[in-house]
Structure 1
Amino acid sequence: MCVGMFMAILDIQVVATSLPTIQEALGISPEAMSWIQTAYLIAEIIAIPLTGLLTRVFSLRWLFVGAVSTFTLASLGCALSGSFHMLLAFRVVQGFFGGLLIPVVFSAVFLLFPARLHALATTIGGVVAVLAPTIGPVVGGFITNTWSWPWLFLINIAPGIIAATATPALLPKQRMNLLELDKLDLLALLLLAVSLASLELGLKEAPKGGWLSSNCIALLVLSASCLTLLIQRLLSSAHPILRLGSFQRRSFTLGCLSSFCLGIGLFGSVYLMPVFLAFVRGHDAFEIGKIMLVTGVAQLIAAPLVTALDGKVDARLLTAFGFVLFGFGLAASAFQPPTADYQEMFWPQVVRGVGIMFCLLPPTRIALGDLPQAEVADASGLFNLMRNLGGAIGIALIDTIIYGRVTLHAQAFRDRLMAGDTATAKAIGLAPELLRNRPRGISEEQAIAYVRPLVEKASLALCVNEAWTLLAGVALLGFVLIPFARNKAASLSPRMMALEAAQPALRRRLDQLGPRSG
C-alpha cells in the first residue's frame, strides 16, 4: 500500500520539476502550463475527504485496489497524451485516485494493526509520505536530463501493477456495501467539490492578482459559502458523505491543527528551496534534487528514533520537541545570503528533517489513535486534508511575499546604490570600486544591464528569507497548540494489548460468518 502512495505523492513533484519540458513538447502556452499541476491538485484535494464514504462502500481492500489501478492507467494515459487537453483530462483522473491513496494508507494503520504496532506502521507510512516530495526533484531532474518527458509517468506503471496485484491477497476480505451509493447526497458532494476547488483556485490567483482582487474575493467567498452550506447539510443528514463527529474529540481537533501547521512548513520548505536554488543560485533540477536529499536522509535516520520513543513518551512532548526542531531549522534558513549553497543549507536541512518526523508521527497517533474504528476512515481523510490545505495556503502566502516584496527590495537596493553605498554593493556581489568608477568603454546602459541581475537575485533572496521567517512562525504556532491536546497513557496494559491484537482476527471471522452472526 505504501508503494502505491509513494508513487502518487512522487508524481506531483517530478512533474513540477519538468513542466518546461512538457510545455515545449506539447506546445502549451505559458499561461496554461500551470494547469497541469493545478488540475491534479484540485482533483486530489476533493478526493481526500471522500475516503471515508468510499471505504464504507467498497471496503478498504477494494478501494485501494481500484484507486491504485486507476491511477496507474491514468499515468499510462498521461504518457501517451499527444495534446494538452488529453494530458489535462488524465491528470484529473490521476489526481482524484492518487488523492485517495494517502488517507487509505493511514486508515490501514489503525484498522489493520493492533495498538502495539501503530507506532511502527505510522512510521513506515509517514516516512513514505514525507520522503516522496523530498526526493522528487532529483528523480524528476534525472528523468528530464536522461530520458523523455513521458517517463515521468511511465515510472508509475511497474510499482502500480505490483501494488494492484499483491494487495488483494494481502488485505483482509471485507464485504462491499454498494447500497450506500443509494443514499449518496449528491448536493453535498457538489458543495464539497465546489468549495475545495474554488478555494484552491482562489489561493492560486491571490499572489499574482492580489488577495483583494475581484477574482480572488469571488472565489474565496464562493468557497466559504459552499463550505457553510455543506457543514449544515452534513450535520443534519442521516447519511452524510463525510462524518464530522471526530471534531468533538479534542485530541483529534488538535491533531488536525498540528497537521495544518506541519503542512504549511513542510510543503512551504519543499517549495522555497527550489525557488532559491534555481533563480538565485542558478542550479538545474538535478542539482537541486541532490542538495535537497539531505532532508530525506535526515528523515530516514530519525524515523527509528521516533518509532522507539512513540508509545513510551507522551506524544505531546514528542510533538512539541518536533515543532521546536522544525521551527529552529526553518528560522536558521532565514538568514542565508544570496551566495548560500549546499554547505550553508546542510545543517538547517538536517534539523528540519529530524523535526518533521517528530511533527508527523506522534500527532497522527494523537489524532487517530484513540478513535473508534467506525470513525477512522473519515477522520483519516480530514486529517490528511488539513495537511494538504496547509500546504496550499503556505505556498500562496510564500508567493504573496515574493510577488509583493521583491519590487520593494529591488527599489531599495537601487536607491542605496545610486547613493554610493559600498555595503549594498558588497551585499549584491558588486565590487565597490565598480560603484565609484565605471570602467572605460562601458556605457550606462551596459552597466545597468550588468547590475540588474545582481539586484534581482539579492531582492529575491531577501524575500525567500522573509518567507522562511513566516514558516518558522507557523511552526511556533504548532508548538503553542500542543499543551491543549488531551494527555493519553504512554502505553497500554498487557491485557489491553492482547485484546487489541485479537481484534483484526475477530473482525475477519465475523465477516466470513456473515450478517446473521453479527
Structure 2
Amino acid sequence: MSSPANTPLAPLQGSARLWGTIALSAATFMNVLDSSIANVSLPAIAGDLGVSPNQGTWVITSFGVANAIALPLTGWLSQRFGQVRLFTMSVLLFVLTSWLCGLAPNMESLIAMRAAQGLVAGPMMPLAQTLLLSSYPPALAGLAMAMWAMTTLVAPVMGPLLGGWITDHIHWGWIFFINIPVGLLAAFATWTIYKKRETATRKLPIDTMGLSLLVIAVGALQMMLDRGRELDWFHSAEIITLTITSVIAFGFFIIWELTDEHPVVDLKLLKMRNFWTGTVAMSVAYSLFMGNIVLLPLWLQQYMGYTSTQAGMMMAPVGIFAIILSPWVGKNVSRFDPRMLTSFAFVVFALVLFMRSHFNTLADFDTIMIPTVVQGVAVAFFFIPLTTITLGGLPPEKIPSASGLSSFARIVGGSFGTSIAITVWQNRIALHHAQLSELVNRGSSAANGALAGFDAAGMSQEQALSQINRMVDQQAAMLAVNDVFYASAIIFLMLIPLVWLSRPKRMGGAGAAGAADAAAGAH
C-alpha cells in the first residue's frame, strides 16, 4: 500500500514510534558493527583459511567498495520499489549474506560474500535516516538524528570487543552469525510498523552505462591495490592491466556522467567549492583513519603477542569521547566556524598518530591505549563539522545526491586507505629488516653479546640465529608501523589548508540527515 505522491506522512505516535526507532537503530547498529567487528579478527580468519593476514584485509576492503558502489543506487531503488520494501529487503539480504559469510570455506568465497553483503547494505543507512525522520515531528527531528547517531557511535566500541571475544572463545564465523537474530527482528518490526507508510513507486530510467563504468573503475583499482604487493606491482601484467582498465573506465565514466540526462553520480556538484573541498578532505582523512585502525590491531596481534580480545580492548575506547562529545558538537556546530572545528579534529588526529609513531616493542597496554582514547575527541569534531562544510549552502533538492556522492567518496577512500596502509607497512618492514640485518655480523658487539647469551642459555647456533631473526622481525615491524603513523600525522596537518579553502554556509533543515550520516561515518 503506497501513500500518495508528495503527501507528507503524519509522524508516528506512542509505542509505534518507540518500536520503529528501536527497529531502525538495531538494523543500523548491525550494519555499523559489521564494519568494525572483523578488524581484530583478521589474523584468525586469515590463519583459518590459509592466507596471509595482509590478504585477510580483503575482508574489509571488499565490503567497503561494494557498499560504496551500492550507495548511488539507493534513490533509484527507493522510487522503483518503495522505501519500506527496499529497507526490509536490504536487511533480510544482509542477514542471508551474513550467514553465508560465516559458512565460507575459503577466502575467495568469504570475499565474494562480503562484497555481496556490502552491496545489499548500501541502502540501509540512508533509508534508516529517512524512515526515522518521517516518524518524528519536525520539532523533534534533531533528537531523532541524535539518537540514531549515538547508535552508530556505540557500535564501533562494541565491534572490536565482541569480535575479539568471539574469535578467541568460539569461532570467527559467529562475528557474522550474530547478525541473524538482530536482522530478522529488525526486518519484522520495520515491516509491521511501516508497511502502511510505503512511499509511492514509479519507473525511472537508470544510468546502466555509468553504473557499469563505476563498478569497473573502482573494482579494478581496488584489486590493483590489494594484489599489487603480492604480484610485485608493475612487474606484473595483471597489475598493469588492472591499472589501465581503471584509468580508462574512470575517464569514460567522467565523460558519460557529465553528459547523461540521468547520471548515477552527479559530478557537476564538484564545481561547488565547499562541496569539493569538503569531500576531498573527508575522503583523504577517512582513508587515513581507516588505514590506521586496521593496521594497529594487525601489528599488535602479529608482532606484539596480543590476543584478539586484547586487541579489541585496545581499539574500543576510541568511541568513548566520540559518544560523549558528538551530541554537543551536533547541537553547537552552527555557533562555530566548522573550518575551525575540523582543523581542531585534524590537529588531534595528527597528535594521536605522532604519539603512536613513538611506540616501541616495550610499550605496555596503557601506553598504547592512551592515543586511542584521545582519538575519540578527533572523531567527535571531525564528521559533523566537515559535513556541514560539504552540504552547507546547497539547495534542498541537491542535498540527497550530494550526501550520496560524499558518502561514496568517503567509503571508497576508507577501502583504498586500508589497502595502501597495509601495503606501505609491508614495504617498510622489508626495508627495515634488510637494514637491521646488516648490523648482525661478526663485527657487531651487540650481535656477539646476544649470541653469547643464547649460547649460555643452551641454544644451538641455529636456534640462536632464529631467535635473533625473530627479534629483527619484531623491530622491523615496529619501525614500519611508526613510519605509517608518522606519515599519516603529516598528511592530516597538510589537509588543514584545504579545509580553509572552503567558504562554509549554515546548513538548513535539509542537511539534518546529512549531518547524521556524518556521525555515522565514525565507524
TM-score, structure 1 length as denominator?
0.82
Q: Is there any run of 5+ residues in structure 2 with no aligned partner, and where?
A: 1-23, 513-523
Q: Report the 3-state secondary structure (helix = DSSP H, G, I; strand = E; otherwise coil) of the residue aligned with 2:362.
A: coil
CA contact (8 A) 2:345 2:379 kept: yes
Matched, 1:473 2:490: yes
Distance 1:371 1:113 in 2: 24
Aligned match for 1:222, one of 245, 252, 260:
245
Which stretch shifts more, 274-283 or 388-397?
Answer: 388-397
Q: Report the 3-state secondary structure (helix = DSSP H, G, I; strand = E; otherwise coil) of the residue aligned with 2:265.
A: coil
Matched, 1:262 2:290: no
Matched, 1:462 2:516: no
1:127-276 paired onto structure 2 within 5 Å: 127-129=150-152, 131-168=154-191, 169=193, 173=197, 175-180=199-204, 183-213=205-235, 214-276=237-299
Q: Structure 1, residues 214-252: CA drift from partner, whole Å, max 9, x if none?
A: 322321221121122112112211122222232232222
Distance 2:301 2:360 in 1: 15
Distance 2:370 2:241 in 1: 43
| Residue aligning to 2:15 | none
Distance 2:195 2:107 in 1: 38
Q: Report the 3-state secondary structure (helix = DSSP H, G, I; strand = E; otherwise coil) of the residue aligned with 2:424.
A: helix
What amino acid maps onto 2:450 in structure 1? L
CA contact (8 A) 2:42 2:56 kept: yes
Q: C-alpha displacement at 1:83, in angstroms?
A: 7.2
What amino acid maps onto 1:466 in structure 2? D
Identity among equivalent positions (%) equals 29
Matched, 1:486 2:503: yes
Aligned match for 2:455, one of 423, 439, 445:
439
CA contact (8 A) 1:409 1:459 kept: yes
CA contact (8 A) 1:46 1:197 kept: no
Q: Report the 3-state secondary structure (helix = DSSP H, G, I; strand = E; otherwise coil) of the residue aligned with 2:322.
A: helix
Which stretch shifts more, 346-355 or 72-81?
Answer: 72-81
Distance 2:495 2:86 in 1: 33
Q: Structure 1, residues 364-412: CA drift from partner, whole Å, max 9, x if none?
A: 2222344334333322222122222222232233223222221221222
Aligned match for 1:289, one of 298, 312, 315:
312
Distance 2:248 2:452 in 1: 59
| Residue aligning to 1:512 | none
| Residue aligning to 2:384 | 361
Q: Report the 3-state secondary structure (helix = DSSP H, G, I; strand = E; otherwise coil) of the residue aligned with 2:455.
A: coil
CA contact (8 A) 1:192 1:230 kept: yes
Q: Structure 1, residues 449-470: CA drift from partner, whole Å, max 9, x if none?
A: 1211111001100000000012
Aligned match for 2:399, one of 347, 355, 376:
376
| Residue aligning to 1:507 | none
Which stretch shifts more, 198-207 or 28-37?
Answer: 28-37
What amino acid maps onto 2:479 in structure 1? L
Q: Report the 3-state secondary structure (helix = DSSP H, G, I; strand = E; otherwise coil) of the residue aligned with 2:394.
A: coil
Distance 1:81 1:95 in 2: 16
Distance 2:199 2:426 in 1: 52
Q: C-alpha displacement at 1:500, in angstroms?
A: 10
Q: Evaluate the alpha carbon distance shift between residue 4 and residue 341 of structure 1 in structure 2; reply closer, same or farther with a 3 A threshold.
A: farther
CA contact (8 A) 1:263 1:389 kept: no
What amino acid maps onto 1:409 in structure 2? H
- RMSD of Structure 2 on Structure 1 (CA): 3.4
Q: C-alpha displacement at 1:63, in angstroms?
A: 3.1
CA contact (8 A) 2:321 2:380 kept: no
Distance 1:350 1:203 in 2: 30
| Residue aligning to 2:338 | 315
Q: C-alpha displacement at 1:46, in angstroms?
A: 1.9
Q: C-alpha displacement at 1:278, in angstroms?
A: 0.8
Q: Report the 3-state secondary structure (helix = DSSP H, G, I; strand = E; otherwise coil) of the residue aligned with 1:484.
A: coil
Matched, 1:76 2:99: yes
CA contact (8 A) 1:258 1:478 kept: yes
Distance 1:266 1:278 in 2: 19
Q: Report the 3-state secondary structure (helix = DSSP H, G, I; strand = E; otherwise coil) of the residue aligned with 1:290.
A: helix
Q: Report the 3-state secondary structure (helix = DSSP H, G, I; strand = E; otherwise coil) of the residue aligned with 2:438.
A: helix
Q: Evaluate the alpha carbon distance shift between residue 412 and residue 148 of structure 1 in structure 2; reply closer, same or farther with a 3 A threshold.
A: closer
Distance 2:80 2:320 in 1: 39
Q: Structure 1, residues 442-485: CA drift from partner, whole Å, max 9, x if none?
A: 43322211211111001100000000012112211322211111
Distance 2:169 2:383 in 1: 34
Q: C-alpha displacement at 1:103, in angstroms?
A: 4.3
CA contact (8 A) 1:61 1:172 kept: no
Q: Evaluate the alpha carbon distance shift between residue 105 and residue 375 of structure 1 in structure 2; reply closer, same or farther with a 3 A threshold.
A: farther
Matched, 1:411 2:431: no
Which stretch shifts more, 16-25 or 134-143?
Answer: 16-25
Q: Report the 3-state secondary structure (helix = DSSP H, G, I; strand = E; otherwise coil) of the residue aligned with 1:371.
A: coil
CA contact (8 A) 2:38 2:175 kept: yes
Q: C-alpha displacement at 1:7, in angstroms?
A: 1.5
Distance 2:343 2:28 in 1: 27
CA contact (8 A) 1:208 1:400 kept: no
CA contact (8 A) 1:39 1:91 kept: yes
